[in-house]
Amino acid sequence: PPPAVPLKPHPADALGDLIAHAESASGRRALLGTVAASLRADIDKGSRSVQTSRSVQTCRHNAARRCSLPPEAALDALRRRQGESSHLAALLAAPWLEEAIADDRVRRLFARDSRSVRKDCSEAWAAAERVRTLLRSLSMPADGEGAALLDVCSGKGMTALVLSFEFPRARVHMLDANGEMELSHVRARPNLDFVQCDLFSRDAAAALAACRADAAACVAVGM
């Protein structure tokens, strides 16, 4: 048989929540419960304050530096690469894009290497299309009203940004452990927020539960 591949452990408390939900739905005892108990004993990073991290401060308080890349230059860089991705071409046709890029805070996300931006934009639009399909299957409104959308391990949040525009009535949450990001674009969107969260911490399950609180449907992408 092939050698065993070591698996990265799942977040302890989040895994426990999933097991409890599965047991409740099926009426059966999950064998993985013993794994979750073991993980809880082994993974205990504790809680740490994140209120002063750069990521939290820039998405809530600090004024953004002016973006040196003009809006038209940002759009031109995307247009030059639209032939490489149908998802990017679809994003370029979005009616909100030009107004979004006119905002310095949003445009900073696009002021990077064009190949990286093309990749991020393509993945973001692909995720938005999947979310659209899921919401439709759940008979949810097309504008996302009543939905909580989670961009898990979001990085700077290109996917979350696109989701916030495509589903303006949804609540969109970025979750990431990185506390050193510049996230002033979060303040440009009224339905977007950032939660600094380590999925391997004991606080992860509570953070995820808070994001989906009172939502009629919750969709997570990016994991």
- Number of neighbouring beta carbons within 10 Å of residue 179: 15
Q: What is the pLDDT of residues 31-51, one digit of tens each?
A: 333 333 333 433 334 344 455
Instruction: State the Cα–Cα distance between residues 182 and 65, nearest whole angstrom.
Output: 10
Block residue for tokens 């679809």: 90
The pLDDT, as a whole number, for residue 20 is 56
Instruction: State the Cα–Cα distance between residues 66 and 64, nearest whole angstrom.
Output: 6
Q: What is the pLDDT of residues 74-110, one digit of tens each?
A: 999 999 999 999 999 999 999 999 999 999 999 999 9
Q: In the numeric block, which tokens belong to residue 10?
A: 């799942």
Q: Which stretches of the chain score pLDDT less than 70? A: 1-51, 62-64, 223
- Of the candidates 59, 79, 82, the one whose C-alpha atom is nearest the C-alpha of residue 184 is 59
pTM value is 0.76
